[in-house]
Amino acid sequence: MNQFDQLDTDFTPLGIVTMAMSWLDIFGIVVLNPFLQTIVYVMTIAWLGMQMFGFIKKQFKKKS
């Protein structure tokens, strides 16, 4: 788990932008081509996963 202890959240601005783009695409405000849409969705899922991992890691450290 050492590599996960060094996980950094420097991608937060990029993650927020990709999540905003995915929501705008879902609502039909912005139309993305299928390739770009796939990239945006994958980056959004990765960013949300990093955020959840960081939150869970903090909760376990508080309990210890």
pLDDT in tens, 3-25: 555 555 556 777 788 888 888 88
The DSSP output letter for 33 is -
pLDDT at 6: 55
Q: Which pTM was predicted?
A: 0.66
What residues make up the domain containing 51?
A: 2-63
Q: What are the tens digits of pLDDT across the range 26-62? A: 898 988 899 988 998 898 888 888 888 888 888 887 7
Count of domains for the chain: 1
d(CA 52, CA 46): 10
Structure tokens at 51: 């955020």
Q: For residue 61, what is the enclosing H or E element?
A: helix 34-63
